[in-house]
Amino acid sequence: MTAAILCIGFLVFATHQAQGNPDKIPSFGGYKPFTVLTNSMQPKISAGDMIFVEEKKAANIKKGDIITFKISDGKLITHRVVSVTKQGFMTKGDNNNVRDKWLVKPENIIGTAAVIVPKAGNIAKFLASPAGFSIFIILPLLLLVLIEVYQRILKALNRKEDPAVTES
Q: Answer yes or no: is pLDDT of 165 > 70.
A: no
List pLDDT tens digits, range 51-85: 999 988 899 999 999 999 999 888 999 999 999 99
What Rg, from alpha-carbon coordinates, does the chain have?
24
Closest alpha carbon to 125 in 12, 1, 44, 4: 12
Asked if residue 43 has a cis previous peptide bond (ω within 30° of 0), the answer is yes
Q: What confidence category does residue 14 fall into, taking pLDDT thresholds of 50, 70 and 90? A: low
- pLDDT level of residue 164 (50, 70, 90 thresholds): low
68 contacts 34 by C-beta, under 8 angstroms: yes
Residue ranges per domain, the chain? 2-125, 130-161
CA distance 13 to 26: 9
Local structure of 163: helix, strand or coil = helix
CATH class for the domain made up of 2-125: mainly beta
Helix, strand or coil, per DSSP, at residue 47: coil
To the nearest whole number, what is the mean pLDDT of the chain? 84
Task: Give the burial string for 145-163 (b: 16+ CB within 10 Å, else e).
Answer: eeeeeeeeeeeeeeeeeee
